[in-house]
A = this chain, B = another copy of it.
Amino acid sequence: MEAVLTEAVALLDEAGESALTFRALAARLGGGVGSIYWYVSSKDELLDRAADHVLADVLRAAEMLTGSDDPIDDLRAIAMTLFDAIADRPWLGAYFMRNTGVQPHGMKLYELIGEQTLRLDLTRRERFHAVSAVIGYVVGIAADMGQQPPQEVRDGEVSREDYLSRFVAQWRAMDADQYPFVHHIVDDFEVHDDADQFSAGLDLLLAGLRLQAGA
């Protein structure tokens, strides 16, 4: 079982979600295709378990970062850890924290985030909503980033920079009267850093939460 998940994660890390195939996995494990079904009942479950396998480390890292005086700072640290994990492994995005019953570490992470809100002066419902918002935000930005770029970029025929700059050129070519905002931010877009972008949005969310908690 352990080996199945380790090899599955390796396959995902090396070549992305499309590379994880029962046949490819069986080949790496030196066995037959069918044997994987002894450990896992479907590909969906395999992906859930692979994701949760990786979340064990993420959870450990997140736990290390909590315990400061300020629960909102802790919330920030946890969210950043999650972001880093998905930035490292884009395939995680899709199977991240699905509370399916086979994701114990995902559940523990949910709990850890929630516990920070227990330290804030909020109603139960506000706490529930705050946690949903933080997780939703992380997943959303991650999904946006993890969007697999077109084939040519994946194959290395076109570099990420060229891809981005082609994008930027396309934006610049748009009608300035119809797209004032696009033109307004295109320079910032050109040099933007995903982590900064994530961090800035997270700050808005947490500022709203701090206001609500009166902290």
- Residue ranges of A at the interface with B (Cβ–Cβ < 8 Å): 98-101, 107, 110-111, 114-115, 117-118, 124-133, 135-144, 147, 150, 167, 170, 174, 178-182, 184-185, 187-189, 192, 196-198, 200-209, 211-212
A140-B140, A143-B143 known; A133-B204 Cβ under 8 A: yes
- The answer to whether A182 and B139 have CB atoms under 8 Å apart is no
Among A126, A181, A188, A200, the most chain B Cβ lie within 10 Å of the Cβ of A181
Dominant secondary structure at the A interface: helix
With A101-B170, A111-B179, A115-B181 as contacts: A132 and B124 at CB distance below 8 Å:
no
Docked-complex contact B127 and A184, CB < 8 angstroms: yes
- Which B residues are CB-close (under 8 A) to A207? 207-208, 211-212
With A114-B185, A126-B200 already in contact, 6 other A-B pairs whose C-beta atoms are closer than 8 Å: A100-B150, A107-B182, A136-B140, A137-B205, A140-B143, A205-B205
25 cross-chain CB contacts under 8 A: A98-B147, A99-B167, A110-B181, A110-B182, A111-B179, A114-B185, A124-B188, A127-B181, A127-B185, A129-B197, A129-B201, A130-B204, A131-B185, A132-B141, A132-B201, A133-B137, A133-B141, A136-B137, A136-B201, A137-B137, A137-B140, A139-B143, A140-B142, A204-B208, A207-B212
